Structure 1
Amino acid sequence: MNIKHHPTDETLLAYAGGALSQAMELVVATHMTLCPLCRDKVAEFEACGGAMLNVNQSLSMDSDALDHVMAMIEQESANENARVTPAEMPRRVAVGGSITGSAVPSLPTPLASLLPDNILSLEDIPWRTLAPGVKHFPLKSVQTKGTVRLLKIAPGVSIPDHGHGGHEMTLLLKGSYIDDVGRFRAGDVADLADDIDHQPIADTAEDCICLIATDAPLKFNGILPKLLQPFIGM
């Protein structure tokens, strides 16, 4: 999988430190099952945090303590045998505990664990029409002050031009879209702050399916989308 767009280092650092909301953590964890680069980065951040914690708990700090910590991180990066596989990697995104496995082999574990047992693939999602050419499936079990949902966009259909009242993260699971930021394909993540406006358009012959989490309502730039916003819940 040729992944070109990743969560920012700030987002990955927040994930490693347990500082993300459950909705944002779900997007990052699902992306990490597909992306070895981000798995390695998070492992390094976690190793750094653990090493710094050990240093801080010491009664005294040697003058070379920082060098010692950095050496530990480099050793962790070099030790491929210490790397966990996607199936083994613990998932913090869970309702009531950690995720250790899944009965849904065709879906990434963090996402699969939050779907009904009868959903074995993206084709099994009971989509609900949101707008012409756009369907969704809300993940109501995820605790968030914003929204988290699966979104299905038909070929050639666009999401209305909008900005953000907060953080928005979108993980592409199938198909692709293009917007003001770039072109996103399966495995890519759009990690957008509140200063980004865009209008995603599904640009291939297949449906574009993505996992989207927001922590605040979108800011639509058109009159009609603004009027419909209370009904579509975005």
Structure 2
Amino acid sequence: MNIKHHPTDQTLMDYASGTMSQAMELLVATHMTVCPHCRDKVAEFETMGGAVLENVTRMEMADHSLDHVMAMLERETANENPAVQELPMTRRIAVGESITGSAMPSIPTPLVKFLPDNVLSLEDVPWKTLAPGVKHFQLKSVESKGTVRLMKIAPGVSIPDHGHHGHEMTLLLKGSYIDDIGRFRAGDVADLDDDVDHQPIADTAEECICLIATDAPMKFSGFLPKLLQPFFGI
């Protein structure tokens, strides 16, 4: 798969450190299923983060190692049955096995648990009409901070011109679209902030299906999209 557009380094660092919302995390994990480049980048950031944490821990121990150890022993002996404290999981969504073929899998592994059990391919998704030529399906089980949805755009149809009140990422799962930034094909990610306005137009050859994650509502310029926005949660 010839992927030309990737998440920014900052986005991948946030993923590696576990500081992004589940909506964004799901999209990055899905992209990494088909992108060895970003898997390697995240592995590098995780290694760097581990090294920094180790150095900080050593510095703290060097400053007051005896006091630190004695305080820990006193806390443990004060409680006959100390509770086991587990570190929080860095990430909650598994990337899954890397796919090295030339095509996107029918349902990438990270998406499986967020879709109805009877959905075996993207064509099985219970789509809801958003506008003529545009359908969507919101993944309900994702945590409340941010939204993530699948969107299907008919050939040649455009999404209304819009900006963003925050961070928006779009992962192409099937087909392609073009906007002011460039052409995006299956596997590509558009990683956008509130400085970008665009109007994606699906190519005429086939329908375009994408995964879209946002941490704030879109900012539409037209009256009708603004009017309908609260009803569709976009």
Question: Is the TM-score greater than 0.5?
Answer: yes
Aligned residue in 2 for 1:23: 23
Residue type matched to 1:182 in 2? Answer: G
Deviation at 1:23, TM superposition (A): 0.1
The yes-or-no answer on 1:116 pairing with 2:110 is no
How many residue pairs are counted as aligned between the two chains? 200
Taking the TM superposition and a 5 Å limit, the aligned residue runs for 1:1-234 are 1-58=1-58, 59-60=61-62, 92-94=91-93, 106-234=106-234
CA–CA distance in structure 2, aligned partners of residues 142 and 121 of structure 1: 20
Residue type matched to 2:33 in 1? Answer: T
CA–CA distance in structure 2, aligned partners of residues 180 and 211 of structure 1: 19
SS at match of 1:113: helix
Q: CA offsets, 1:169-213, max 9 Å, x none?
A: 000000000011111000000000011000000013211000001
Deviation at 1:57, TM superposition (A): 1.4
SS at match of 1:213: strand
Do the aligned partners of 1:92 and 1:99 also contact (CA within 8 Å) in 2? Answer: no
Residue type matched to 2:211 in 1? Answer: L
Q: Which is helix-richer, 1 or 2?
A: 2
SS at match of 1:33: helix
Residue type matched to 1:108 in 2? Answer: P
CA–CA distance in structure 2, aligned partners of residues 109 and 26 of structure 1: 10
Tell me the TM-score normalized by structure 1: 0.81
Tell me the TM-score normalized by structure 2: 0.81
Do the aligned partners of 2:27 and 2:212 also contact (CA within 8 Å) in 1? Answer: yes
CA–CA distance in structure 1, aligned partners of residues 130 and 39 of structure 2: 34
CA–CA distance in structure 2, aligned partners of residues 208 and 91 of structure 1: 32
Distance 1:210 1:166, change over 3 A: same
CA–CA distance in structure 2, aligned partners of residues 99 and 33 of structure 1: 6
Distance 1:100 1:52, change over 3 A: same
Do the aligned partners of 1:99 and 1:113 also contact (CA within 8 Å) in 2? Answer: no
Deviation at 1:45, TM superposition (A): 0.2
Distance 1:202 1:218, change over 3 A: same
Query: What is the root-mean-square deviation of aligned Cα atoms in Å?
Result: 2.0
Deviation at 1:100, TM superposition (A): 6.7
Higher relative contact order (CA 8 A, sep 6+): 2
Q: CA offsets, 1:15-73, max 9 Å, x none?
A: 00001000000000000001000000000000111111111111349xxxxxxxxxxxx
The runs of 4+ residues in structure 1 deviating greater than 4 Å are: 98-101
Aligned-residue identity in percent: 75
CA–CA distance in structure 2, aligned partners of residues 197 and 165 of structure 1: 11
CA–CA distance in structure 1, aligned partners of residues 170 and 144 of structure 2: 15
CA–CA distance in structure 2, aligned partners of residues 179 and 118 of structure 1: 34
CA–CA distance in structure 1, aligned partners of residues 40 and 173 of structure 2: 21
Do the aligned partners of 1:177 and 1:204 also contact (CA within 8 Å) in 2? Answer: no
Residue type matched to 2:159 in 1? Answer: I
Structure 1 residue runs of 5 or longer lacking an equivalent are 62-89
Aligned residue in 1 for 2:102: none
Do the aligned partners of 1:146 and 1:214 also contact (CA within 8 Å) in 2? Answer: yes
CA–CA distance in structure 2, aligned partners of residues 38 and 128 of structure 1: 32
SS at match of 1:38: helix
